[in-house]
């Protein structure tokens, strides 16, 4: 398995698909990298030479923000929103949807499993 930016990419997949295993590199960026370096898109990742891997690593280092760097930046962005007490920051803090989705129904991904709240029983008073 070739190791790019500290991540083992799969051997049996085309180069541009293997590059997508890096956090922060999507389909468009992966194809862009292959064209810029003159790599065959359909060549399997195991066919990459050490020089090709070194070129990919250096290009990603200089032109893209990936893996730990990108995760850290996203965490800092959310922390800044929380610190300034913006609406979006409060939604992050409470674990609710941030981008305007409804919460009366759905929103289970953010809110977690249902927590049933005991309601009033329909019991009559006995005198």
The enclosing domain of 23 has a CATH number of: 1.10.8.50
Residue 69 pLDDT > 70? yes
Domain holding 82, by residue range, is 69-111
Tell me if 32 is assigned to some domain.
yes
Tell me if 124 is assigned to some domain.
no
What is the model's pLDDT at position 35?
95
The enclosing domain of 87 has a CATH number of: 4.10.910.10
Q: Both 30 and 77 in a single domain?
A: no
CA 97, distance to chain mean position in Å, is: 16
Residue pair 16/9 in contact by the 8 Å Cβ criterion = no
Q: Both 51 and 78 in a single domain?
A: no
What is the model's pLDDT at position 28?
96
Q: Mean of the per-residue pLDDT values for the chain?
A: 91
Could you tell me the pLDDT band of residue 120, with boundaries at 50, 70 and 90? confident
Residue 67 pLDDT > 80? yes
- Work out the average pLDDT over 48-72: 93
Q: Both 45 and 87 in a single domain?
A: no
Q: Both 8 and 59 in a single domain?
A: yes
Q: Both 57 and 73 in a single domain?
A: no
- Tokens standing for residue 37: 């370096």
- Work out the average pLDDT over 110-124: 82
Calpha distance 105→1 (Å, rounded): 45
The model's pTM = 0.75
What is the model's pLDDT at position 117?
87
Q: Both 10 and 32 in a single domain?
A: yes
Calpha distance 125→70 (Å, rounded): 61
Q: Both 57 and 87 in a single domain?
A: no
Residue 8 pLDDT > 80? yes
Q: Report the number of distinct structural domains present in the chain.
A: 2
């Amino acid at each position: 398995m070739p190791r790019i930016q500290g991540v083992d990419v799969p051997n049996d997949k085309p180069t541009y698909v293997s590059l997508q295993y890096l956090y922060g590199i999507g389909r468009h960026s992966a194809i862009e990298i292959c064209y810029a370096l003159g790599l065959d898109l359909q060549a399997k990742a195991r066919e990459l030479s050490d020089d090709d891997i070194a070129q990919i690593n250096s290009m990603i280092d200089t032109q893209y923000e990936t893996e730990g760097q990108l995760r850290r930046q996203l965490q800092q962005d959310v922390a800044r929103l929380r610190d300034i007490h913006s609406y979006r920051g409060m939604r992050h803090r409470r674990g609710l949807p941030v981008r305007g989705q409804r919460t009366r129904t759905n929103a289970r991904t953010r809110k977690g499993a249902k927590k049933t709240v005991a309601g009033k029983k329909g019991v009559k008073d006995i005198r």
